[in-house]
Structure 1
Amino acid sequence: MRVPLHRFFVDALNHFGLAPTQLAPNGWRIMAGFIVLCRSAGVPPSLAVFRRFFLLSALPHKHQKGWYYFQPRSKGRSGLRFTGLPESIKGWKRGFFFLYSPTAWPCPVEWGKPSKSSLVDPVLSAEDEAAAAKLLSAQGASSIDLRKYLCIRNLAEAGIS
């Protein structure tokens, strides 16, 4: 996560009703990878297109209630393939810090729970369908290794700085 938040991050957090702190690190990696891929494919990042490929899920552990991440939608469906996500990032919660802003945050700051309507399959416009097809063709048959793809240069070029 980088501040100020990229507009796509703000849109996603508002859509799901989540505070930035509720999203696990791999959730941020997936969203950043999507933004960088959109930039390289020449399409604007669209929440509907993102939701066509990824599903918001709650972390399964009962002691981690309220935490969320993104996972690819059904495996049988053609989709974006990101690799390079760590299985575990031990101690990542110790890296929390507090930010103060004299202006209101553009997204929720209190922890919330996604509404059922925010989790339904998105309806894509013709423009969104074309963008999704362009992202898939830009990716090709290979998966994208986020460990290499999310370098400083790619993030800066995508406006995530």
Structure 2
Amino acid sequence: MGGTPNTPFFYIYQCFFRDLGVCLPFSQFECDFLNFINMAPCQLHPNSWGFLRAFQVLCSALGIGLSLPVFLHFYQLKLGEPPLGWVSLNRSKAGGLFSLYSKSYKGFKQGFFRVRPKEADPLVDEVFHFGRLPRFPLLWQQNLIKFNRSSNLQLSESDTAAIADLAALPRPLDCKLVLSLANLADKERGLESEYLIILSC
């Protein structure tokens, strides 16, 4: 892991990588979400990380630009039991986009590790810093920013069009199925072929 005793670090669960395809450094979309909520990576329940990852894969498959307001339109924040309850995303009145990755995500709390940068210099490190500033909150936060849909966010014309396109899909989409398309060269064709099978069942 490298680093010194004073090097910043954060905790993360193994299932994020094993099941959901999360990679380091986090994508800009993932960092934007964590910053918007003011939340450390390990505070968000694995199923909700699944929603974040599946949204990115789905947008790539459909040629839709990644937009945090578009994602937030379909979800609302559910806080866990204080002081250290996990945070989840529930579907908003607009309805969510995906099914749960797992209806019973047992044992994930025991499989975690600590991540520290090899380079303490914020000009060199890309996992923790961007322009010398932290890319996201590292430690467990108490003052989270609640939201319900994108009602308090400004939507562009492209955001409004993307919401309409996503709302027209046969929801909820299978989270595992969408994540399985992440490494396909032709994600759109894979999505269409898989959903023809699902819809015919």
In the superposition, the TM-score normalised over structure 2's length comes to 0.65
Q: 2:100 aligned with 1:69, yes or no? A: no
Distance (whole Å) between structure 2 residues aligned to residue 156 and residue 8 of structure 1: 20
Q: Percent identity?
A: 31
Q: How far apart in 2 are the matches of 1:114 and 1:155?
A: 33
Gaps of 5+ in 2: 1-21, 120-124, 130-134, 188-201
Three-state SS of the structure 1 residue aligned to 2:182 is helix
2:104 is matched with 88
Higher relative contact order (CA 8 A, sep 6+): 1
Q: Of residues 142, 161, 175 in structure 2, which corresponds to 1:130?
A: 161
Are the equivalent residues in 1 in contact too, given 2:39–2:137 (CA < 8 A)?
yes
CA contact (8 A) 2:90 2:96 kept: no
Q: Using the alignment, how far apart are the partners of 1:123 and 1:72 within structure 2?
A: 20
Letter in 2 for 1:99: V
> Judging changes above 3 Å, is the alpha-carbon distance between structure 1 residues 80 and 66 closer, same or farther for their aligned structure 2 residues?
closer
Structure 1's unaligned 5+ residue stretches are none
Distance, in Å, in 2 between the alignment partners of 1:19 and 1:82 is: 23
* Alpha-carbon displacement from aligned partner over 1:51-99 (angstroms, at most 9, x marks no partner): 111112113x45x73421111102xx3x443124322211101111111
Q: 1:17 to 1:41 in 2, by over 3 A?
A: same
Helix, strand or coil for the counterpart of 1:154?
A: coil
Q: How many residues are matched?
A: 148
Per-residue CA distance 1:6-55 (angstroms, 9 max, x = gap): 11100000111111111110111011111111111211110011111111
- Counterpart amino acid of 1:69? S
Alpha-carbon shift at residue 150 of structure 1 (Å)? 0.8
Identify the residue that residue 114 of structure 1 maps to in structure 2.
144
Change (3 A) 1:133 1:67: same
SS class of match (2:25): coil
1:45 aligns with 2:66: yes
SS of corresponding position for 2:78:
strand
**After TM superposition, which residue ranges in structure 1, 4 or more long, deviate above 4 angstroms?**
155-158
Q: Residues 13 and 20 of structure 1 are in contact (CA less than 8 Å); yes or no, is this contact kept in structure 2? A: yes
Q: How far apart, in 2, do the equivalents of 1:43 and 1:81 lie? A: 14
Q: Which has the higher helix share?
A: 1
Aligned-partner SS, 2:90: strand
Distance 1:80 1:37, change over 3 A: farther
Q: Residue type matched to 1:3 in 2?
A: L
Return closer, same or farther for 1:115/1:7 CA change in 2, 3 Å cut-off: same
Is residue 47 of structure 2 the alignment partner of residue 26 of structure 1?
yes
CA distance in 2, matches of 1:156, 1:19: 30
TM-score normalised by structure 1 residue count: 0.80
